[in-house]
Amino acid sequence: MTSQYTHRILDEAGVDAVLDAAERHALDNGHRVVIAVVERSGELVGLRRTPGAQVASSRVAVDKARTAATFIRPSRELEQQVSSGRLGALALHGGRALTGGIPLKVGDEVVGAIGTSGETPDEDEAVSLAGAAAEFSSRVVAALSAADARHAAEAVASECARRGVAPVCAVVDAGGDLMCIWRPDDAQVASVGVATDKARTAAIYRRPSKDFEDQASAGRPSALHLARAVPLQGGIPIIREGEVVGAVGVSGASSADEDQELAVLGAAALGAANGASNGAAFFGDAAVRAKFATGGLLLDAGAYKLDAGRRDAPGEVEYHAHTVDVMHVVEGTATVVTGGELVGARSVGDGELRAQSVHGGHPHELSAGDVLAVPAGVPHQFIRVSDPFLYFVVKVEV
């Protein structure tokens, strides 16, 4: 399944235009304020301070802007609710009942917000309104729809039923906020939070959460201090048109490796959607990292395929009667033997043979940057590999 769902986001020029207009209003009126602009999920993208602004206003301005963005309304509305006696509004998750936050809209779509702090509530709001009234630019990007999120979770659920496992699957948007969760009857309760944490990590850091587990395990425990991240494999970004639009997180399968496998499957269920009308295909860094985390096809174009290969142990002899393999090493080292005679060959498909070993042949020592082209009809075997050994393989039908 692929989706054409999009939404608008602030671009850098748009952020500057909003801040410039707000800052002019503040300076014209002698206001000592901090002005913050956040994107649609509430994360800071721009900050200005006028002379004499108090230090505390930096955080308060961000809080006001985040409230306006994530609640899709001026933050004054929350303050009015509290002042009118609805004290429960003080407990709204992520909300701050302080006047001065204003949504930034393109048409009816909220693309971010501006918040100001430092003067009276009305003066703060006036600065933010001046910024929001400016003409600012934005851009359209691929995004994850509610239907997309459900489809990814359902793909994981279907595979779990086939395997007889009962983990939790969480799907989040590009900002790491939950869009869909699948929790089977037999799932452990703790996995609800863990699956969401894994997905959020993959989305906001634009890479598989396994990257941070690998860092922590390899002697960098400071990876545990990365904001809003968990160093646990099982979170995979969802890539569309080269950009991360969300992520899938899985927790509670039979092993951490199976969590990872299922998350990869869920992300892949939405399709890369990297093609263009002229047949070109683009894969961003996050998409490539995600695929190398487990290994697998990046592209299947019929006459040729692009595989992100990952090995951690030697393999069987492979023989392709109708396919040329062109390998480009990305990371690690390996010894590959080409040619020779198959020993104990068996058929695994049309023109496809496998064997435990070859008699004779020529060894090639491969390392990062090397290229090895294996013609159709030539046996080849990885007899030694580092862990991991990452390589691109272009498979061309002949």
Q: Same structural domain for residues 239 and 274?
A: yes
SS3 143: coil
* Triad 217, 219, 220: Cα angle to 5°: 95
SS3 203: helix
Pick from 123, 125, 140: which is nearest to 14 by CA? 140
Q: Are 287 and 243 in contact (CB under 8 A)?
A: no
pLDDT tens string 140-184: 999 999 999 999 999 999 999 999 999 999 999 999 999 999 999
Q: Same structural domain for residues 63 and 125?
A: yes
Pick from 42, 177, 48, 15: which is nearest to 101 by CA? 42
Does pLDDT of 10 surpass 90?
A: yes
Query: Does the residue 5 lie in any domain?
Result: no
% of the chain at pLDDT higher than 90: 83
Last residue of a domain, one of 85, 119, 142: 142
Q: Are 154 and 182 in contact (CB under 8 A)?
A: yes
Strands 109-117 and 178-182: unpaired
pLDDT tens string 303-320: 888 999 999 999 999 999
pLDDT tens string 76-130: 999 999 999 999 999 999 999 999 999 999 999 999 999 999 999 999 999 999 9
Question: What is the number of domains present in the chain?
Answer: 3
SS3 31: coil
Q: Same structural domain for residues 37 and 94?
A: yes
Query: Does the residue 209 lie in any domain?
Result: yes
Does pLDDT of 286 surpass 90?
A: no
Q: Same structural domain for residues 213 and 153?
A: yes
Query: Does the residue 6 lie in any domain?
Result: no
- Residue span of the structural domain in which 305 resides: 297-397
Q: Same structural domain for residues 168 and 125?
A: no
pLDDT tens string 220-278: 999 889 999 999 999 999 988 778 999 999 999 999 999 999 998 899 888 544 444 45
Angle between helices 121-132 and 12-28 (to 10 degrees): 140
Distances in whole angstroms, Cα of residue 219 to Cα of each of 185, 216, 226, 252, 314: 38, 6, 15, 26, 26
Q: Are 189 and 221 in contact (CB under 8 A)?
A: no
Q: Write the DSSP assignment of 233-302 as a string of letters.
A: S-EEEEEETTEEEEEEEEESSSSHHHHHHHHHHHHHTT----B-TTS-B---HHHHHHHHTT-EEEEE-S
Query: What is the reported pLDDT for 305?
Result: 86
Distances in whole angstroms, Cα of residue 384 to Cα of each of 138, 234, 320, 365: 51, 28, 20, 9
Asked which of 133-137, 200-204, 347-351 is least confident by mean pLDDT, the reply is 347-351
User: Whole-angstrom Cα distance, residue 121 to residue 129?
Assistant: 12
Q: Where are the alpha helices (DSSP H) in the chain?
A: 12-28, 57-70, 76-83, 121-132, 146-163, 190-204, 210-217, 256-268, 285-292
Q: Same structural domain for residues 205 and 285?
A: yes
Amino acid, res. 236: I
Q: Same structural domain for residues 268 and 315?
A: no
Q: Are 139 and 125 in contact (CB under 8 A)?
A: no
State which H helix or E strand residue 95 sits in.
Answer: none
User: Whole-angstrom Cα distance, residue 154 to residue 147?
Assistant: 10
Pick from 59, 31, 35: which is nearest to 47 by CA? 35
- Specify the CATH number for the domain of residue 244: 3.30.450.150
Query: Does the residue 181 lie in any domain?
Result: yes
* Residue linked to tokens 């043979």: 353
Q: Same structural domain for residues 256 and 226?
A: yes
Q: Same structural domain for residues 180 and 50?
A: no
User: Whole-angstrom Cα distance, residue 386 to residue 305?
Assistant: 24
Q: What are the structure tokens assigned to 103, written together?
A: 């949504």
Last residue of a domain, one of 243, 267, 294: 294
Q: Which of the four pLDDT bands, split at 50, 70 and 90, describes residue 2?
A: low
Q: Which of the four pLDDT bands, split at 50, 70 and 90, describes residue 279?
A: low
Pick from 81, 83, 121, 82: which is nearest to 102 by CA? 121
- Specify the CATH number for the domain of residue 312: 2.60.120.10
Does pLDDT of 348 surpass 90?
A: no
Q: Same structural domain for residues 112 and 164?
A: no
User: Whole-angstrom Cα distance, residue 118 to residue 33?
Assistant: 4
